[in-house]
Amino acid sequence: MENAILHGGVDELNTIKEHVLEFTGYQERNAELIKEEARLDKLIATKEKDLSDETETTLKKRKSELTATYESQLSALNARHKKIKSKKEKDKGVKVGERIAEETAALRESNKALALEMKTKLKTGKTPRFCNTTLFYSFFMPRTFGEFLLFILGLLIVFLVIPFGIYLLFFAEKAGELALAMIYVVMILLIGSVYLAINNKVKEKHLDTIREVRNIRKQYMSNKKSIRMIQTGIKKDADESTYGLEQYDDELNEIGEEIKRVTEEEKDELNKFETTTAPQIKAEIKSRYEEELTSLREKYKEICAEQKNVEDMVKNQALMMSKQYESYLGKDMLTVQKLDKLIARITSGEAATIGEALALENGK
């Protein structure tokens, strides 16, 4: 084989050249197919994404439109429900007020008479009006728990909060504990003097009147407590049958049923959309892309098959050339340009065989 190649001439070189050209053609075609395969793959991916995006956008839009229709109805019904409920509460408030006024009328009339009686007694006895206050009775004639509590709170304010407040604001940085003691002395003298003055000149002087007013006041406060209890009981009463609000209840129930019906209908339509409409939309959009995608996939498949075939040819041709020519001529000589130079040496008469032409070329 070696002698056949190296002793060959132009015909053998042309045969080798044809193999080289064939190998180069396979390589170029393989590169083209790889490039085309990548292009088609990218194009198919783009088309599939367009299909997916259009499907998703369309479904989202259609579903949103469907939901918006029902939500608009529900919003209007809820607004109407709220309006009627507000009117009912307002009307009920008026009826409750009338009921409270009616059921407490006797107590309120009694308190008017008691208030007038207390005022008259204070005026007749020439007793100061402040003697008919909770504060006065808490400090000078405490009896109830609330009055004793107010009395203790008053002592804390007078003999703790006020003295310490004055001390901290005006004397803490400039004077010591002596200033605090002096403040207490002043407060005790001042408050004590006022307390004794009121006790001696008001309470003791008008004691009988004050006691009479207190007894009347006790009934007055009892009536007020009864009024509050009646008010609380009426407001907490869940029975609305006495207020004549049935027309509101009927309308509210009717709207409630309508809201329930629209909600169920929306649920059914959304279920229908997911099970029937959505698949139809998907199928319709897919059909518009299907022909082009099918064509591209078929072409991609053909290109892949051809590329694999051409790649095998490249491998086989490279293996054949390696076995038959590279070991004799050298890999660097297996190009069209180099082979043309060898042919030119033989054609010009410089060499008679491939071996001689190769020697001249390598020795150059």
Q: Specify the pLDDT at position 336.
A: 83
pLDDT of residue 51: 93
Range of the domain at 205: 95-247
Residue 165 within any structural domain of the chain: yes
What is the chain's alpha carbon radius of gyration, rounded to the nearest angstrom? 56
Q: How far apart are CA 163 and CA 189, in angstroms?
A: 13
Tokens 């491998």 sit on residue: 315
CA distance 187 to 182: 9
The domain tally of the chain equals 1
Distance of alpha carbon 232 from alpha carbon 110, whole angstroms: 20
Q: With 0-12 CB in 10 A as exposed, 13-18 as middle and 19+ as buried, what is 212?
A: middle
Among left, alpha and beta (phi > 0; psi -120 to 50; other), residue 128 is beta
At residue 364, the pLDDT reads 55
Please state, in angstroms and rounded to a whole number, the distance separating the CA atoms of residues 221 and 48.
85
CA distance 335 to 19: 10
Q: What are phi and psi of 293, to 5 degrees?
A: -65, -40
Which residues have CB under 8 Å from 147's CB, separation 6+? 134, 137, 138
Q: What is the DSSP letter of 350?
A: S
- Is 307 inside any structural domain? no
Residues of the chain with pLDDT below 50 are 1-2
Query: Coil, strand or helix: which one is 175?
Result: coil
Distance CA 245, CA 95 (A): 10
Q: What pLDDT is attached to residue 108?
A: 93
CB 248 within 8 A of CB 84: yes
Q: Is residue 228 part of a domain?
A: yes
**Nearest CA to 358 among 349, 341, 21?**
341
Q: How far apart are CA 219 and CA 111, in angstroms?
A: 8
Dihedral sign of CA atoms 304, 306, 309, 310 in order: negative
Quick check: is 79 in a domain? no
Predicted pLDDT at 176: 67
The residue type of 1 is M
Distant-in-sequence, close-in-space partners of 317: CB < 8 Å, separation ≥ 6: 19, 22, 23, 26
User: Which position has the token pair 């009896």?
Assistant: 143
Q: Does residue 49 belong to any structural domain of this protein?
A: no
- The single-letter DSSP state of residue 275 is I
Is residue 348 a part of any domain in this protein?
Answer: no
Angle 322-324-329 (CA atoms, 0-180°, nearest 5)? 80
Three-class SS of residue 33?
helix
261 is a domain residue: no
Vertex 76: Cα angle to 71 and 78 (nearest 5)? 90
| Residue 190 included in any domain | yes
pLDDT number for residue 2: 45
Q: What is the pLDDT of residue 323?
A: 81
The one-letter amino acid code at 187 reads M
pLDDT, tens only, 250-284? 999 999 999 999 999 999 999 999 999 999 999 99
pLDDT at 61: 93
- Mutual orientation of helices 336-348 and 354-363 as an angle, nearest 10°? 110
A 10 A CB-CB count for 333 gives 20
